[in-house]
Structure 1
Amino acid sequence: MISKSPITTIIPVDDMSRATTFYRDTLGLTDLGDSMAGNHALRTAAGSAVELMPAPGEHTSHTVLSFEVDDIVREIADLEGRGVRFEDYDTPELKTEGHIASAGSEKAAWFKDSEGNFLCLHETHLS
Structure 2
Amino acid sequence: MVTARDIFSGFSVDDIDAARDFYRATLGLDVTDGPMGNLDIALPSGAHVFVYPKPNHEPASFTILNLVVDDIDAAVDELNGKGVVTKIYDDDAFPTDAKGIARGKSVGQGPDIAWFRDPAGNVMSVLQD
Give the counterpart letter for 2:66 in structure 1: S
Partner residue of 1:111? 116
TM-score by length of 1: 0.81
| 8 A Cα contact 1:11 1:53, kept in partner | yes
Partner residue of 1:68? 68
Larger CA deviation: 51-60 vs 85-94: 85-94
Structure 1: gaps of 5 or more residues: none
Partner residue of 2:16? 16
Q: Output the CA distance in 1 between the equivalents of 2:83 and 2:33.
A: 24
Larger CA deviation: 38-47 vs 23-32: 38-47
Q: Tell me the percent identity.
A: 35
Matches within 5 A, 1:1-127: 8-35=8-35, 39-56=38-55, 57-97=57-97, 98-103=99-104, 104=108, 106-124=111-129
Q: Output the CA distance in 1 between the equivalents of 2:58 and 2:7.
A: 22
Q: Output the CA distance in 2 between the equivalents of 1:107 and 1:9.
A: 24
1:69-88 C-alpha deviation (Å, 9 max, x unpaired):
11100111111122211124
1:26-82 C-alpha deviation (Å, 9 max, x unpaired):
1111122205x6531021344342221122322211111111111100111111122
TM-score by length of 2: 0.80
Give the counterpart letter for 1:78 in structure 2: E
Query: CA 1:7–1:123 in structure 2 vs 1: closer, same or farther (change >3 Å)?
Result: farther
Q: Output the CA distance in 2 between the equivalents of 1:52 and 1:116.
A: 14
Structure 2: gaps of 5 or more residues: none
| 8 A Cα contact 1:26 1:82, kept in partner | yes
Deviation at residue 12 of structure 1 after TM alignment = 0.9
Which runs of at least 4 in structure 1 moved beyond 6 Å after TM superposition? none
Larger CA deviation: 18-27 vs 87-96: 87-96
Q: Output the CA distance in 2 between the equivalents of 1:81 and 1:73.
A: 12
Look up the SS of the partner of 1:24 in the other structure.
Answer: helix
CA RMSD of aligned residues (A): 2.4
